């Protein structure tokens, strides 16, 4: 017969189930794998959404040289497209060669060594955090273009968006992908429809499309000619390369694809590149046709703007130009752009925890990051990412232009090292491969990766030269700190593993086991601890109390003799009314007589049901356990006594088998077998210096 248990869920548990959902069994893991139609919005939303802020960065950087510099925007966009197509082609080789999900980290580690792998990992971790901060901040900026309330509360809105994304991802990968598929595809359709509508109106219908900012008079911040112009174009190009962020996420997320994993990942990568290129080129082209202008500092650069002019984002201006100001479609464009930018952070929420889990498995990060949560997601990694992203958003006040300066350094570090690793990968395989067809494929793949390394390495140098003083140094410093921290964590784990490695010499058994039961007063927890200690059958057994109050100690001795307990009671004097130091000295003296002996200390403890009860009980017990754990040859055993308040604790995680297994009572020796009572012994101790650990008695 099964006896039902009345379960009372705590408020914390109810809130967790409301936000995260019911836990999944481990065998449900294969059901979280993604088809291509879901994997595209999950892993590619970052790269797809970058077309919402990459054109802004291109135009505002060119505005430093005045309105005439906008003529260079199509050429800058074309250069970015060449780099993007090269990176997509290169990473298609990566996902086939390394489908395990390590991505750039695995490629660099296997082919270039652990230090190069750590450099890639630190760069990617920083880049993932910046992806969340930049994407969410840009989403707030786009939404604020049509909703003034959002513009005035952008930090609060951005932080709320990160919290919401965190809760959605904690519910599990498949639910996140399904929730993000419709907005991602909606953004592609809306932006594509806006571009096509604008081009048809301009070339077919002959409409005179003029952006709201087309007639503004723009003042150049500096006179840019010669080398300064070249430097400005390089800086503009490096800002536009923000459109490439997120491409590497697919190579990190190959295990999340349905079989055949590598082929599906490569196909998704090709779709990502094609759609991103089409939208980026379309937006820049339409911006030039409509005379759109976007500046770095509207207050100083715009000379003839209307009163109260507020600069809108590029996509918002194009939506107003194509569909008309105040139209429903304008709000649809702004809303979908903001939504996809919020959801673009989901790429990092899927990539960061997976990479963190791999690093934790390799002992470069805390092992907690390798653990899956109730919904089979890497919950700890998701929470870590959210916290760091919120810190950046608050610290930089959700300003995209300030955050973008920290961006893309990490991703191009990983791009370059990954392609260098792939070249060594193909060289190693070419030394052993004899099949002519396979060798031709390897030569082609190596050529693609070599060209990719040259392109991404060049971009990395340009980014470092043009953005270092503008904020890129912060990202570089963060990468260095994370790199050194991971090395320190690995050294710690290696040192512990070496220390715990079993030796060939068989362990020497202890000569004797001395049991000590700590006593403050004679109550049920003490009696249970004595009974349990006797059940372990030690060589010697004594109860120890500390004489802090003479009256209480005499009452304890009298009660002990009255009950005729078969265990001697030892009273340790404490002239300075402290608890911890006298017990530590007593234990040390007990073991000093024979170093091969083991001392087992039994500590009776209350188990309470409310957090505030912990403040009223067990302070000295916790203190004693903490000190005794550092004593060699000493074992510490807690003997719990559950108070009545524990009956209301949440039992959700109690194994069902426990409810149908009869509980066993304590094993008590027959009265006739008990040894005769032993009179109490008083052990005087010399006065010691006062210890700061005096407090409640156990």
11-26 per-position pLDDT tens digit: 444 444 555 555 554 4
Which pLDDT score, from 0 to 100, does residue 190 have? Answer: 92
Q: Is the pLDDT of residue 405 over 50?
A: yes
Residue-averaged pLDDT of the chain:
79
Write the burial class of residue 284 (CB in 10 Å: 0-12 exposed, 13-18 middle, 19+ buried). buried
Report CA 679 to chain centroid distance, whole Å: 60
Does residue 614 register a pLDDT over 90? no
Task: Calculate ∠ Cα 335-133-36, nearest 5°.
Answer: 65
**Structural contact between residues 286 and 98, judged by C-beta atoms closer than 8 angstroms:** no
Residue scoring higher pLDDT (619 or 123): 123
Give dist(CA 282, CA 655) in Å, integer: 59
What is the rounded distance in angstroms from the CA atom of residue 183 to the CA atom of residue 169?
16
**Residue count (the chain):** 698
Give the torsion sign (CA, 470, 474, 480, 486): negative
pLDDT of residue 483: 94
| DSSP code at position 505 | S
Is the Cβ–Cβ distance between 117 and 108 less than 8 Å? Answer: yes
Residues 183-192, mean pLDDT to the nearest whole number: 89
pLDDT tens-digit readout, 506-539: 556 677 888 999 998 888 888 999 999 999 899 8
3-state secondary structure of 595: coil
Yes or no: say if 167 and 382 are a contact pair by the CB < 8 Å rule.
Answer: no
Q: What confidence score (pLDDT) does residue 177 get?
A: 59
> What ranges do the domains of the chain cover?
38-492, 512-651
- Tokens 């790429």 map to which residue? 347
**At 3, is the pLDDT very low, low, confident or very high (cuts 50, 70, 90)?**
very low
| Nearest residue to 424 (alpha-carbon basis) of 400, 446, 399, 444 | 446
Identify the top-confidence range among 34-38, 120-124, 225-229, 509-513: 120-124
Residue 621 has pLDDT above 80, yes or no: no
Rounded to whole angstroms, the maximal C-alpha distance in the chain is 112
Quick: pLDDT tens for 626-636: 888 888 888 88
SS3 at position 214: coil
The answer to whether residue 305 scores a pLDDT higher than 80 is: no
Those residues whose C-beta lies under 8 Å from the C-beta of residue 204, and which sit 6 or more positions away, are none
C-alpha 540: how far from chain center: 51
Residue 39 in tokens:
């994997």
Beta-carbon neighbour count of residue 324 at 10 Å?
11
DSSP state of 502: P
- Architecture of 512-651 per CATH? 3-Layer(aba) Sandwich (3.40)
Whether the model pTM is above 0.85: no
**pLDDT tier at 239 (50, 70, 90 boundaries)?**
confident
Q: In this structure, are residues 38 and 175 in contact, taking their beta carbons and an 8 Å threshold?
A: no
Alpha helices in 221-260 (DSSP H): 227-240, 249-252
Which of 209, 192, 153 has its CA nearest to residue 332? Answer: 192
Q: How many CA atoms within 13 Å lie on the side-chain side of 304? A: 9
Most confident of 541-550, 612-621, 642-651: 541-550
**Tokens read off for 266:** 């490569």
On whether the CB atoms of residues 63 and 69 are closer than 8 A, the answer is yes
Q: CB of 46 within 8 A of CB of 135?
A: yes
Q: What is the DSSP string of 188-213?
A: HHHHHHHHHHHHIIIIIS------TT
Tokens of 229: 């112009």
Q: What percentage of the chain's residues is helix, strand, coil (to nearest 5)?
A: 65, 5, 30
Strand partners, 569: 543
Q: What homologous superfamily is domain 38-492 in, according to CATH?
A: Amino acid/polyamine transporter I (1.20.1740.10)
Distance CA 164, CA 445 (A): 41
Predicted local confidence at residue 189, as pLDDT: 92
Q: Is the dihedral of CA 521, 526, 527, 530 positive or negative?
A: negative
Residues 6+ apart with CB under 8 A from 621: 603, 604, 605, 638, 698
3-state SS, residue 635: strand
pLDDT digits (tens, 9 = 90+) for 448-470: 999 989 988 998 898 888 888 88
User: 54-62 and 314-323 helices cross at what angle (nearest 10)?
Assistant: 100
Q: How far apart are CA 162 and CA 157, in angstroms?
A: 9
Across the beta sheet with 540-547, the strand order is: 634-642, 598-607, 513-518, 540-547, 569-573, 681-683
Rounded mean pLDDT, 420-443: 90
pLDDT at residue 371, as a whole number: 63
What confidence score (pLDDT) does residue 260 get? Answer: 82
Angstrom distance (rounded) from CA 352 to CA 378: 9
* Model confidence pLDDT, tens digit, residues 349-364: 877 887 888 888 888 8
pLDDT, greater one: 200 or 647: 200
Instruction: For residue 408, give both structure tokens.
Output: 């893309």
Average of pLDDT values for 281-293? 91
Give residues with Cβ within 8 angstroms of 93, minimum separation 6: 422, 445, 448, 449
In the structure, what pLDDT confidence band is assigned to residue 180 with cuts at 50, 70 and 90?
low
**76-80, 171-175, 285-289, 650-654: least confident range:** 650-654
pLDDT at 481: 94
What single DSSP character describes residue 501? P
CB 96 within 8 A of CB 265: no
Look up residue 405 and give its DSSP letter. Answer: T
Residue (of 615, 614, 626, 540) closest to 579 by Cα position: 626
Share of the chain above pLDDT 90, in %: 14
């Amino acid at each position: 017969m099964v006896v039902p248990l009345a379960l009372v869920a705590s408020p914390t548990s109810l809130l967790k189930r409301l936000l995260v959902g019911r836990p999944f069994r481990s065998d449900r893991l294969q059901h979280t794998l993604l088809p291509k139609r879901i994997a595209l919005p999950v892993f590619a939303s970052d790269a797809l959404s970058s077309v919402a802020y990459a054109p802004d960065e291109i135009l505002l950087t060119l505005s430093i040289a005045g309105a005439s510099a906008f003529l260079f925007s199509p050429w800058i966009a074309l250069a970015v497209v060449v780099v993007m197509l090269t990176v997509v082609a290169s990473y298609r080789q990566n996902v086939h060669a390394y489908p395990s999900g390590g991505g750039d980290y695995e490629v660099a580690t296997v082919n270039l060594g652990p230090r190069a792998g750590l450099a890639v990992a630190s760069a990617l971790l920083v880049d993932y955090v910046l992806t969340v901060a930049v994407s969410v901040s840009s989403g707030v900026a786009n939404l604020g273009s049509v909703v003034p309330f959002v513009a005035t509360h952008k930090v609060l809105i951005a932080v709320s968006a990160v919290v919401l994304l965190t809760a959605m991802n904690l519910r599990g990968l498949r639910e996140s992908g399904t929730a993000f598929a419709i907005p991602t595809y909606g953004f592609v359709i809306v932006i594509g429809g806006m571009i096509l509508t604008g081009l048809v109106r301009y070339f077919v219908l002959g409409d005179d499309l003029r952006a709201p900012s087309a007639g503004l008079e723009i003042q150049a911040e500096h006179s840019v000619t010669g080398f300064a112009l070249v430097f400005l174009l390089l800086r503009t190009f490096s800002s536009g390369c923000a459109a490439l962020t997120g491409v590497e996420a697919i190579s990190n997320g190959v295990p999340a694809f349905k079989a055949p994993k590598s082929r599906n990942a490569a196909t998704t990568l090709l779709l990502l590149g094609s759609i991103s290129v089409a939208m980026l080129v379309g937006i820049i082209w339409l911006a030039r046709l409509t005379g759109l202008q976007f500046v770095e500092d509207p207050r100083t650069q715009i000379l003839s703007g209307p009163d109260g002019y507020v600069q809108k984002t590029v996509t918002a201006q194009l939506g107003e130009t194509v569909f008309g100001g105040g139209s429903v479609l304008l709000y649809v464009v702004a809303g979908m752009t903001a939504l996809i930018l919020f959801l673009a952070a989901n790429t990092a929420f899927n990539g960061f925890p997976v990479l963190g889990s791999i690093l934790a498995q390799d002992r470069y990060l805390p092992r907690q990051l390798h653990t899956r949560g109730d919904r089979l997601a890497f919950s700890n990694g998701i929470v870590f990412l959210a916290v760091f992203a919120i810190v950046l958003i608050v610290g930089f006040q959700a300003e995209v232009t300030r955050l973008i300066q920290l961006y893309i350094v990490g991703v191009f570090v990983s791009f370059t090292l990954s392609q260098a690793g792939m070249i060594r990968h193909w060289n190693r395989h070419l030394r052993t491969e004899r099949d002519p067809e396979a060798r031709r494929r390897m030569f082609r793949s190596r050529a693609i990766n070599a060209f990719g390394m040259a392109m991404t390495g060049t971009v990395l140098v340009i980014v470092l030269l043009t953005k270092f003083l503008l904020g890129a140094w912060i990202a570089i410093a963060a990468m260095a700190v994370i790199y050194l921290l991971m090395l320190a964590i690995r050294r710690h784990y290696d040192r512990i593993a070496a220390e715990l490695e079993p030796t060939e010499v068989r362990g020497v058994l202890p000569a004797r086991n001395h049991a000590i039961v700590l006593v403050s007063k004679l109550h049920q927890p003490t009696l249970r601890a004595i009974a349990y200690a006797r059940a372990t059958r030690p060589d010697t057994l004594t109860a120890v109390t500390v004489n802090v109050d003479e009256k209480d100690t005499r009452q304890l001795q009298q009660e002990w003799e009255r009950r005729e307990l078969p265990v001697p009671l030892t009273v340790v004097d404490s002239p300075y009314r402290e608890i911890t130091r006298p017990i530590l000295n007593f234990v040390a003296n007990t073991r000093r007589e024979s170093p091969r002996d083991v001392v087992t200390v039994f500590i009776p403890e209350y188990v309470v049901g409310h957090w505030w009860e912990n403040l009223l009980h067990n302070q000295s017990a916790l203190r004693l356990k903490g000190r005794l754990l550092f004593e060699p040859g000493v074992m510490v055993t807690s003997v719990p006594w559950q108070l009545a308040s524990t009956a209301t604790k949440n039992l959700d995680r109690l194994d069902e088998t426990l409810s149908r297994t009869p509980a066993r009572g304590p094993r008590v020796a027959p009265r006739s077998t008990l040894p005769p009572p032993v009179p109490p012994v008083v052990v005087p101790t010399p006065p010691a210096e006062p210890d700061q650990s005096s407090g409640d008695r156990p």
